[in-house]
């Protein structure tokens, strides 16, 4: 999976797989840390455009995330831009 900081202080957890040799996932989650009590709010959000594991992700200046590299279901996958949800939407 990749963990990428978002401009508003949240984090995007994306892709990956459950275990070694398991199929890659399209799942994405937004994480937000509460600095007062140290709890983390984890919310499922829009899936990635395709399954992906072993990839890299980087924030772009427009607020989107570039997801590139890694493997999909048995093949390499094209780079994609992911537009994370706004803070009020999951």
The predicted model gives 39-62 an average pLDDT of 93
User: How many CA atoms within 13 Å lie on the side-chain side of 28?
Assistant: 23
Say how far apart CA 85 and CA 36 lie, in whole Å.
24
User: How high is the mean pLDDT of the chain?
Assistant: 90
Please provide the DSSP assignment of 1-26 as one string: -EEEE-TTS-EEEE---SSTTSPPB-
pLDDT number for residue 89: 58
Q: What is the model's pLDDT at position 68?
A: 93
**pLDDT for 1-38, tens place per residue?**
999 999 888 999 999 999 988 999 999 999 999 889 98
């Amino acid at each position: 999976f990749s963990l990428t900081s978002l401009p508003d202080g949240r984090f995007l957890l994306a892709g990956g797989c459950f275990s070694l040799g398991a199929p890659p996932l399209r799942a994405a989650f937004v994480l937000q840390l509460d600095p007062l009590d140290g709890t983390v709010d984890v919310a499922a959000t829009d899936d990635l455009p395709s399954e992906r594991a072993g990839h890299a992700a980087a924030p772009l200046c427009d607020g989107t995330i570039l997801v590139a590299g890694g493997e999909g279901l048995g093949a390499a996958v094209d780079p994609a831009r992911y537009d994370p949800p706004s803070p009020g939407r999951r």
